[in-house]
């Protein structure tokens, strides 16, 4: 049975009016000018969005209100970064920020589930091997490379690491000098929103062109993770792992590699445009 959201909290957030697209853009400009009242208005009017997303993440070992509070932190972060030039509704932009904070909370709750000492020891050895190989080779080692190094079957690597996976940060800066652009800024617009999707067609085509040249495994993960297919909900690491038949940790590693490639490609594209 689902934990209930505090009724007083629901009553309180329903007092805040929903905003039109134009009102969001006006608030965004005021926020960028340092207007704290505008920031509060944008946040308060979207608190209901956090509650609706929270129920998708909720499980028995979580507090629904704690999950909502984590999502609110993502909402606050998104509100501070939102700009009128993004050409998208705020809910579309804020969605992945909210999800990121909820994912972190969900992962931390999973960490509280005690593991047998043998599993803890093996996870520690795998992490140490991964760090060592990364230092030697300058790249993130694959499960196969770790398996060879530790002389254990590759499937065991994936199985043990599935006990402890995390979401890669969406707020990594691109390599473009002084751009201040993060991966989330140009992937956020692909999150499904049934009400609005004002993403500029040219911008969408540019982003998709970068994703489409990724290796097939990376492309497939990004398509599912950031909802390029336009389905109702973007998929979690666990959901993707079931689709492709590998562990959530293996999916996470593929996502990390893909985001690194996208950062590099996005930076190169920005510099080329700047020279035009």
* Of the candidates 192, 202, 193, 203, the residue with the CA atom closest to the CA atom of residue 225: 192
Burial class of 250 by CB neighbour count within 10 A (0 to 12, 13 to 18, 19+): buried
Q: How many residues does the chain have?
A: 276
Neighbours of 216 (CB within 10 A): 7
Please state the pTM of the whole predicted model.
0.46
Question: Residue 237's pLDDT is what?
Answer: 82
In this prediction, residue 227 carries a pLDDT of 72
Q: What is the DSSP string of 103-118?
A: HHHHHHHHHTS---HH
Mean pLDDT in order along the chain per 10 residues (276 residues): 68 92 95 92 93 76 83 90 87 84 70 55 77 69 84 79 45 42 46 37 60 82 78 77 86 83 61 43
CB 240 within 8 A of CB 225: yes
Determine contact, residues 255/225, Cβ cutoff 8 Å: yes
What the chain holds in terms of domains, given with CATH numbers, is: 1-113 (1.20.120.1810), 117-161 (1.10.10), 168-276 (1.10.10.10)
Q: Report CA-CA distances (Å) from 171 to 70, 74, 100.
A: 16, 11, 10
Question: In sequence order, what are the beta bridge partners of 173?
Answer: 182
User: So what's the pLDDT on residue 56?
Assistant: 72
List 28's β-bridge partners, or say none. none
In this prediction, residue 108 carries a pLDDT of 62
Beta bridge partners of 182: 173
């Amino acid at each position: 049975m689902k934990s209930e959201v505090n009724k007083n909290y629901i009553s309180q957030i329903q007092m805040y009016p929903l905003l039109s697209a134009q009102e969001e853009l006006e608030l965004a400009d005021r926020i960028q000018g340092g207007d704290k009242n505008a920031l509060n208005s944008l946040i308060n009017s979207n608190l209901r969005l956090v509650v609706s997303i929270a129920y998708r993440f909720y499980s028995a070992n979580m507090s629904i209100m704690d999950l909502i509070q984590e999502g609110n932190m993502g909402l606050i972060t998104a509100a501070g970064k939102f700009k009128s030039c993004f050409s998208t509704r705020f809910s579309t932009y804020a969605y992945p920020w909210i999800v990121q904070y909820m994912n972190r909370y969900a992962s931390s709750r999973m960490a509280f589930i005690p593991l047998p000492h043998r599993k803890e020891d093996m996870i520690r050895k795998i992490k140490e091997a991964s760090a060592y190989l990364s230092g030697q080779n300058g790249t993130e080692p694959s499960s196969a490379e770790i398996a060879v190094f530790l002389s254990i079957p590759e499937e065991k690597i994936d199985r043990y690491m599935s006990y402890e996976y995390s979401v890669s940060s969406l707020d990594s800066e691109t390599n473009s000098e002084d751009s201040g652009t993060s991966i989330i800024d140009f992937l956020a617009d692909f999150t499904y929103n049934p009400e609005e999707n004002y993403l500029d067609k040219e911008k969408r085509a540019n982003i998709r062109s970068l994703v489409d040249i990724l290796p097939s495994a990376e492309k497939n993960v990004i398509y599912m993770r950031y909802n390029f297919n336009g389905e109702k909900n973007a998929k979690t690491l666990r959901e993707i792992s079931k689709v492709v038949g590998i562990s959530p940790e293996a999916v996470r590693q593929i996502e990390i590699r893909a985001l690194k490639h996208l950062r590099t490609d996005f930076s190169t594209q920005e510099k080329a445009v700047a020279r035009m």
